[in-house]
Amino acid sequence: HCREPSDFKYRHDLVRDVLFDIFRRAGISMKKKAPVNFLTDPQEARSTLHPADVMVFGWVGGKHACVDLTGVS
């Protein structure tokens, strides 16, 4: 739904930005719209996935976590 009417995109981005702000204030390292290049198409040598809404670095055991938000109408 994020590519449909602008209100879905607005709400999606608002929730993403609030989540990002909470992580930042807590001192957690992360990035918005982070490319997920570790999953690549061998023929194209690039990611076939859209960027993660938020990538949290060093989440559990030093591993990174991708957070992708989905809006429900």
Predicted confidence (pLDDT) per residue in 21-68, tens digit: 998 999 989 988 887 766 556 676 665 677 888 888 888 888 888 888
- Residue 2 pLDDT: 47
Residue given tokens 């194209």 in the structure block: 44
38: left (phi over 0), alpha (psi -120 to 50) or beta: alpha
Per-residue confidence band for 1, with pLDDT thresholds at 50, 70 and 90: very low
CA atoms of 1 and 9, how far apart (whole Å): 8
Q: What is the pLDDT of residue 25?
A: 94
